[in-house]
Structure 1
Amino acid sequence: MFTGIVTAIGEVVEAERKGPSLKRLAIACPYEAEGIAIGASIACAGVCLTVTALKPRTDGAAGCIFQVEAAAETLAKTVVGDWQPGTAINLERSLKVGEELGGHLVTGHVDGVARILKIDQIAPDPDEPWGATARFHIRAPEQLKRFIAVKGSICLDGTSLTVNTVDDDVFTVLLIPHSLSVTTWGERREGDPIHLEVDLMARYAARLAEARPQG
């Protein structure tokens, strides 16, 4: 379980296909190896992946390299299959009992791939030093649009965000300067694919509504 609060940016340093239904990835990150157990879960751009091996970084930077494997379901529902060395990804360690829940409850089970349609750069106030914000217009997969509501929570590439507007299958979110600087969102461009996980409450509310006519 995660919160959608990104704690680091990792970089894919190795990517190897092991047949049509398995891909092995090595990801360099600033997390110390001593704090990661084999079998631990790490959200990689919103995708919950299991650590299968650890090794030191070779670039002299702090942290470690962790290895994960993506199987058929993950490869079918995400863009993990397209990741290559140099791909930057948002990272979050799994939530521990007693820690602050800063975003919303996120499972790391991606529902589908959305796409950025447009990015509005909002110029900063000349009297404020922290830079511009950006509004992202995003198209959701048709089957997921019913789960997206104004002021509701949504997880995009592992980032917990609040939905600002909804127009059929297109919705907007606003990224503040801090979020743009500590996640991969600052590098996003129009046309980019984005992992989307709908809010748990929306998922269960929809299921209950479907079951009601059945008694």
Structure 2
Amino acid sequence: MFTGIIEAIGTISALKNHGDDLRLTVNVGKLDMSDVHLGDSISTNGVCLTVVDFGSDYYSVDVSKETIKYSGFANYQVGSKVNLEKAMRADTRFGGHIVSGHVDGVGEVLAVNDHTRYVEVWVKAPDELAKYIAHKGSITVDGVSLTVNEVKGASFMLWLIPHTLQETIIGMYKPGTKINLEVDVIARYLERLMLGDKAATTEKQDISMAFLAEHGYLK
């Protein structure tokens, strides 16, 4: 479990293919590794990964075929910058929102517009994620907990303050940049809950106006 409050910017120092999987090593920058142990989870650009080797200034993780499929790891290379956050402690402040580290898909930056005190970033999400993205709702972008400020179809807009731009890789975004997206976990569970008994069937179930009316959600 994570909060989406980034602790450091890391740099990918090694990538090794192991069949369909990937061994990734990250130089951690200013991330404090003094309390990290084998088997701990570290969010790497929003993806929850398990530490299989580490030192004072690095850690290594194995990235599965499934994770590569739903995230931007297929596009990363040695030297790529990544946002880092260690797993949330029970005795710390919950500063962002509930972030599982289970990326839902890869979005694309459409535009980056500079303003006096903030930067406006427009992102195109995969169409299948659009229903989970709401105005003033939460979304995780490369591991960063952010607020959606405007929505147009599957595209949404973010306002970034100088601190966020300085402390995360979002300050490096430009049109065409691919980014990891995780939608609000509450929205995912709510959709599943609304299926009721039909959630147990193997057939694909979609929430439609007809479905809502049939099950008493609409009058």
- TM, length-normalised to structure 1: 0.89
Match of 1:25 in 2: 24
SS of structure 2 residue aligned to 1:205? helix
Give secondary structure in 1 for the equivalent of 2:149: strand
- Work out the CA distance in 2 between the residues paired with 1:177 and 1:31: 20
Counterpart residue number, 2:196: 211
Misfit runs of 4+, over 2 Å: 30-34, 208-215
Is this contact kept in 2: 1:10–1:28, CA < 8 A? yes
Distance in 1 of aligned mates of 2:89 and 2:74: 29
Structure 1 residues without counterparts, runs of 5 or longer: 57-63, 125-131
2:106–2:180 Cα contact (<8 Å) kept: yes
Match for 1:72 among 65, 69, 74? 65
The answer to whether the 8 A contact 1:22-1:71 is kept is yes
User: Are the equivalent residues in 1 in contact too, given 2:31–2:84 (CA < 8 A)?
Assistant: no
Q: SS at the partner of 1:34?
A: coil
Q: Deviations over 1:141-173 (max 9, x none)?
A: 011000000010000100000000111111101
- Matched letter for residue 22 of structure 1: D
Letter in 2 for 1:112: G
1:181 & 1:34 partners in 2: Cα distance? Answer: 24
Task: Give, in whole Å, the separation in 2 of the partners of 1:211 and 1:111.
Answer: 23
Give identity over the alignment, percent: 38
Q: Find 1:119's aligned residue among 112, 115, 118.
A: 112
CA displacement at 1:31 relative to structure 2 = 2.8
State how far apart, in whole Å, the 1-side matches of 2:185 and 2:82 are: 23
Alpha-carbon separation, structure 2, partners of 1:151 and 1:186 = 22
Q: Does 1:191 align with 2:176?
A: yes
Stretches of structure 2 lacking an aligned partner (at least 5 in a row):
198-210
Q: 8 Å contact 1:77–1:113 — kept in the other structure?
A: yes
Structure number with higher strand proportion: 1
Mapping for residues 98-137 of structure 1, pairs under 5 Å? 98-122=91-115, 124=116, 132-137=117-122
**Distance in 2 separating the partners of 1:10 and 1:108:** 17
SS of the residue 1:35 aligns to: coil
Partner SS state of residue 13, structure 2: strand
Aligned partner of 2:203 in structure 1 is none
Shift of 1:81: 2.3
Q: CA deviation at 1:133?
A: 1.3
2:83 to 62, 85, 90: 90
The AA in structure 1 aligned to 2:35 is: G
The superposition leaves residues 14-42 of structure 1 with CA deviations (integer Å, 9 ceiling, x where unpaired) of 111111x2100110112344311010000
Q: Say if 1:120 and 1:136, in contact at 8 Å, map to a contact too.
A: yes
1:24 partner letter: R
CA-CA distance at 1:68 after TM superposition: 0.6
Task: Report the Cα distance in structure 2 between the residues aligned to 1:186 and 1:31, rounded to whole angstroms.
Answer: 19
Residue 160 (structure 1) aligned with residue 159 (structure 2): no
Matched residue count: 199
Give deviations 1:31-85, integer Å, cap 9, x for gaps.
Answer: 34431101000000000000000135xxxxxxx1100110111011111122211
Task: Pick one of 140, 145, 167 that aligns with 2:125.
Answer: 140
Looking at structure 2, the residues matched to 147 and 185 of structure 1 have their Cα atoms a distance apart, in angstroms, of 22
Is residue 23–residue 81 contact of structure 1 (8 Å, CA) maintained in 2?
A: no
**2:13 — aligned with what?**
13
Cα deviation digits, residues 112-138 of structure 1 (max 9, x gap) = 00111111111x2xxxxxxx4111111
Q: CA deviation at 1:179?
A: 0.3
